[in-house]
Structure 1
Amino acid sequence: MLVSALVSGIVLGSIYALIGAGLNLIFGVVKVINFAQGALLMFGVYLVYWTVTLTGFDPYLSLPIVVIVMAALGYLIQSAIINPVLKKERTSQLLITFGLGMFIENMVLATMGPDVRRVRTVFRGNSIAIGDVRVAYESIALIVVTAACIGLLFLYLNRTKIGTAIRAVAQQPDSAELAGINVKRIYGVAFGIGMAMTGVAAVLMAPLYDVHPTMGESFGIMAFVVVVLGGLGNVQGAAVAGLLLGVLQNLFAMFVSFQLSLAFVFFVFILILLFRPQGLFGRAARVA
């Protein structure tokens, strides 16, 4: 039971890590909290569903299509919706992303209906034995691809010119602009990469979860918990925090109470913030 709970927790934590890393990148660079994250994740899963339905592809083969569409959508959202309110009050920024999330969710509900849909893969029913526990191929794919994406994102941010520009804008946008960096373009690139990570999560989730218009709500909320615990702007910290939360939630659900597992996660969240407000991997702010 312990091994089974740990493996399931790592699978759930991998989803949290992917979504949280993308959300944290957006916040770290653009300094905007994206309340539409859960709705955009749900939209990505529906995009997988329709790609599979229309083309007959296996869900995993839809990965390039979904990632490109989600990245382009993220760039468009940043350019057309977020940029006009960047210099306005923080409340305007919060409300516009919240409104965007409500629009996406209700649009999908109106066009697709509340019916639950499912996405099947050719690997369904196949598994590999780890000790006395059998792990589905879909779960293994999720863990492996998540690790690869987090690693590639780290390398991209630290080993490429655009990655260096993203980090420069995240630290000092005014100085970066004086150095000749197109800050608004970098904002769009960062938002696009964050949405691409969300698209990867959508593809990996599609064979594991029922598809319906409200499926992104709980994951969107947990993404914010992951971002705060990992340290605002710390992509690697968000990934580690996502894994920890997934394992803790699953262990509590397995051995204590499934119904109270989310409550336990938020209780741990509150305790950590009481003693370490900057998160597990964030740096404490200096007071002048």
Structure 2
Amino acid sequence: MKSFFASIYKDICLFLSVSGIMSLLLPALVAAAFFLGMCDASDVEVAVEPFAVAVIDLDETMMSRTLLTQFREVDLLSEVRIYHTAQLGASADGKKQQIAFDENNVLIPSDGLFDDPRFQDCAAVITVPKDFFYDAYTGDEGPVHLVLNGRMPLESALTENMITSVMGILKSERAAWYSAYSLKAGGEFDTADFAEFCSRSSDSIIASALTRRELLAASGTDEALAGNTKNTFFTCAASMLMLFVSAGVLKTLPDERRLGLADRFFSIGGKPISLILSKLTAAAVFCAAGLI
């Protein structure tokens, strides 16, 4: 055991040269240079600023009001402006346009829609069709219509992606429930099976869509990026430190052979495995000191 500690002491003494000290300091200097060079990029706010959207609620049911209440809690949206049929008329001064719909309850967009004070700072105008939730209950939900604001390309694209994601969830859940009940009913629904399917699936589908709004959260994005950047710098520095220290410890082998230190170590009863372990231990000590 005494020879083992003597070998560790020998490795430490041989390592503590100018090149050995530099192998300890260089990883820290390189990591600091990386950090200073990229600090501007790491400090950039990547979180999208919350924005407003307008919703025209033609359904005007308890379910649509519940959906829009949940919609207002999405962190990505600063404001959800809800309009009903009675609020869509033109104003006397002409600043607010008459909002018109076609026979399928699809909003007819006009060239000046986003010049209207009600919509000009909104990323999109979303229309919830009449009887949307009744159709969803019976398994025949129609589309939710969007008119995107071309002056806000990023925000409108995010809104479109958000709405299509929710609609995709609705359709996927609907297909899963329909498959399950088809297997249960042997391929054909009777009246009782269909009523049970509508009741159970509609509750589950709406709950599934509404409870996934945390996926749209905008908060925490910048903090997460900053944390990931720090972890990356630390990992790079630690990897370089272990590489340089290991190389520095092994660098002393030619000096040991020239000075006959290995032969002396074996002559006093030392074993090759002890020599290897002593170098690994010395490297671990220097790595720990460098990380601290």
Is TM > 0.5 for Structure 1 vs Structure 2? Answer: no
Larger % of strand: which? 2
TM-score of the superposition, structure 2-length normalised?
A: 0.24
Larger % of helix: which? 1
Q: Which has the higher contact order (CA 8 A, sep 6+)?
A: 1
CA radius of gyration, larger in = 2
TM-score of the superposition, structure 1-length normalised?
A: 0.25
